[in-house]
Every structure is written in structure tokens, then in C-alpha cells.
Amino acid sequence: MFNASCPSRAALELIAGKWALLIIPALAPGPLRNGELLRRVGGISQKMLTQTLKELQRNGLVVRIERGILPPHVAYRLTPMGRSLSKALIALDRWAETHHGDLAVARDRFASEG
């Protein structure tokens, strides 16, 4: 993984994006429609949500579910591979929730020492 030519680097780049880190765990409980995802992932634009979902689909982490009704009803769900990734990301989310205060203290301490 530390080798620049290692294929696992592409996987890390895919999931290291801010929005992928939020969208994948948001889909963990089950399928969501576009508007539901927009509300759940605060701060994301429609354009960025669409781009990120397409990239996650292209890489086999998310599936677009189209129901043949009018008006069109589209939802997104995790694939089995996406669910396995979600478990790891949820652990990362919990770490961030637990330690965000510690990180802020460390930043403040660093700034005052500099």
C-alpha cells in the first residue's frame, strides 16, 4: 500500500473523499432517495451528491434502484461490498465523534506554541 504503484491506492483515494465518507454510512441503514440523502448529508450540493453517487456506482459500492412508476422513483443502496466498507467507515465516524474535541485542543496548543 505504501508503494506508489499499488492498486489499493485507488481504493483509498475513492473512499478518502469527504462526501464518500459521509454518503456510504448514510446508506448503511437502507436505501435512500436523492432528497433524503441531501437532507441526511448536510452541506453537500446536488451536483456533488450526483457526482459522488455516480463514482460510487462505477466502483460497485452503490446501486441505483429505479422503480418504473411516474413520477420516477429512484433510490440508492449499498452493494455487499459497500456494506462491508460502511462497517469500517462507521467505526471511523465514531472515532471522529469521540476525538473531535481532543483534536481541537491539540490544534489550539500547537498554535499557542508556534
- Report domain extents, the chain: 8-113
For 28, list phi and psi in degrees, rounded to 5: -55, -40
Tell me which residue of 62, 106, 69 sits closest to 84, measured CA to CA.
62
Q: Domain 8-113 - what CATH class? A: mainly alpha
pTM of the entire predicted model = 0.85
Tell me the C-alpha distance between 46 and 44, whole Å.
Answer: 7
Q: According to the model, what pLDDT value does residue 17 have?
A: 86
User: Has residue 34 got a pLDDT over 90?
Assistant: yes
Q: What is the pLDDT of residues 41-90, one digit of tens each?
A: 999 999 999 999 999 999 999 999 998 777 778 999 999 999 999 999 88
Q: According to the model, what pLDDT value does residue 20 have?
A: 94
Tell me the C-alpha distance between 104 and 110, whole Å.
Answer: 10
Q: Which three cell numbers stand for residue 102?
A: 481532543
Q: According to the model, what pLDDT value does residue 112 have?
A: 95
